[in-house]
Structure 1
């Protein structure tokens, strides 16, 4: 999502959960050069992030991904929903230490009004049309299949949590 955000000039906000104790954002996530806000609360809606959101008052939607779906992503989602935002959670770009925590958090966010999507699904919704001027550039990012996120097994046999 980070590469697509750069190409489409979509603002990205990165928070780090207590980097002093847990360590900084790993380079593999592609967040080098982006400002990172340190936090100890689970929600990323800290005063600095709220100021970032206020810079574009016309923004109605937020796309979320990250670590500890059942803590940080869920807390942020619920806070954003309470503030009237449409929240799109990129399920295959969210993780938890346990699949049970991840699954139940995704289910609760959906029940609360968030939209669950995949990385490729979110990217294609941002583009809306193959005639988008940056489609070919973004298409290179999604050309190869995404790695297995472990979610497919959760949806087999019509998982009742997502019905």
Structure 2
């Protein structure tokens, strides 16, 4: 049984600018990308760029058989950047999450329960006849936009059992 969550719904989003960093990781090396979020936020602060929402992980490619994932850590920003993102060796870039319709729900509880919540969202989408912005080839899922938004600041609420995570999966 998964932790309490909201009821899935569909929302429309415009393009959403962000600054991010991309890494190829495994299920045991998530920290290589997730731990970059504070660096991104610090960079934005140093450059006077306003945040515009919760930091996120964006899953671009998932190959569970090979334990290989292409994942971005990102922070939404209030406006697109005119200047290039430069930080010595950081690999930061500016981009935009694509506009479109997204299936979404919010999970309240420890992030280690997200796998079950993701399964619930995917099952709901199948029951509703939804088509994901997803291409599968040779066992690799390539997502147009699959997000986990981390709504809770761990500096304010250190107990992961009280964190809120919003899932947003773009529809085709």
Which structure dedicates a bigger proportion of its chain to strand? 2
State TM-score, norm by structure 1.
Answer: 0.22
Give the structure, 1 or 2, with the largest relative contact order (CA under 8 Å, sep 6 or more). 2
State TM-score, norm by structure 2.
Answer: 0.21
Which structure dedicates a bigger proportion of its chain to helix? 1
